[in-house]
Amino acid sequence: MELEKIRNFSDSELVIEQKKAAEQLFRLRFQMKLGQNEGVKKLRELKKDIARIKTIARERELGLYGEKPQAESVAPKAAATKARKKTSSKKKEAR
């Protein structure tokens, strides 16, 4: 399943698709144990689809999708690092 298609699902549709994929995965694993090795590629794709669905659900839960990283959060860290460097250089000069 394509990522953009998954992103267009509503939250309830995501849950339904995840359950469908998990059910198919269970059936494929069962068939594999019975000796039918025809579904190896499908097994791999289903596992990836489930991971994609869970990732998108988590992004929505955290509110991450569609937001850009803020430059403000980086600036205080850089300023704090510079301040530590200045104080450590002053200590070295005092010795």
CATH code for the domain in which residue 51 is found: 1.10.287.310
What global pTM score does this model have? 0.62
Residue 83 belongs to some domain of the structure: no
Is residue 34 over pLDDT 70?
A: yes
Answer positive or negative: Cα dihedral of 20, 59, 11, 8: negative
Q: Which domain holds residue 31?
A: 3-69
Structure-token pair, residue 80: 């704090």
Q: Is the pLDDT of residue 54 over 90?
A: yes
Count of H-run helices and E-run strands, the chain: 4, 0
Query: Is the predicted pLDDT of residue 67 greater than 90, yes or no?
Result: no
Q: Tell me, what's the pLDDT at 3?
A: 86
Within a domain: 91: no
Q: 16 in a domain, yes or no?
A: yes
**Strand residue runs (E) in the chain:** none
B/e letters for 49-88, b = 16+ CB within 10 Å, e = fewer, are: bbebbeebbeeeeeeeeeeeeeeeeeeeeeeeeeeeeeee
In a domain, 79, yes or no: no
If phi > 0 it is left, if psi is from -120 to 50 it is alpha, else beta; for residue 29 that is alpha
pLDDT over 60 (residue 30): yes
Residue 84 lies in a domain: no
Q: Tell me, what's the pLDDT at 57?
A: 93
Residue where the block lists tokens 């025809």: 38
Arithmetic mean of pLDDT over the chain:
79
Query: What is the mean predicted confidence (pLDDT) over 19-35?
Result: 91
Q: Say yes or no to pLDDT of 69 above 50.
A: no
Contacts of residue 49, Cβ cutoff 8 Å, sequence gap at least 6: 1, 6, 17, 21
Residue 77 lies inside a defined structural domain of this protein: no
Number of domains in the chain: 1
